[in-house]
Amino acid sequence: MITIKIRNGQDPNKVFQKLKNILINEGLFEELKKRKSFVKASKKKRLKRENAAKQRIKDFRKLVRKAEQEDQY
């Protein structure tokens, strides 16, 4: 259970932002998004495969950019 104590004179907006950051770091919002609706196993596999392909492209582009920067020096 996550608890945050509010001290006297502390800005409620800052406390709320701190709570939000903790929940984001815990992965709560991602979990809620996943559980919002049922996703069939076949669709999960397809999405996982598509995301892996996108990540490979991103990694390749990053590698190319890094190599180009090293060539400039």
pLDDT bin (cut points 50, 70, 90) of residue 6 is confident
Structure tokens at 17: 């932002």
What pLDDT score was predicted for residue 73?
Answer: 72
What pLDDT score was predicted for residue 72?
Answer: 81
Give the DSSP letter of residue 37: S
Helix, strand, coil percentages for the chain (3-state, nearest 5) = 75, 0, 25
Backbone Cα Rg of the chain: 21
Evaluate if residue 3 carries a pLDDT over 90.
no
What pLDDT score was predicted for residue 45?
Answer: 98
| Residue 48: other Cβ atoms inside 10 A | 10
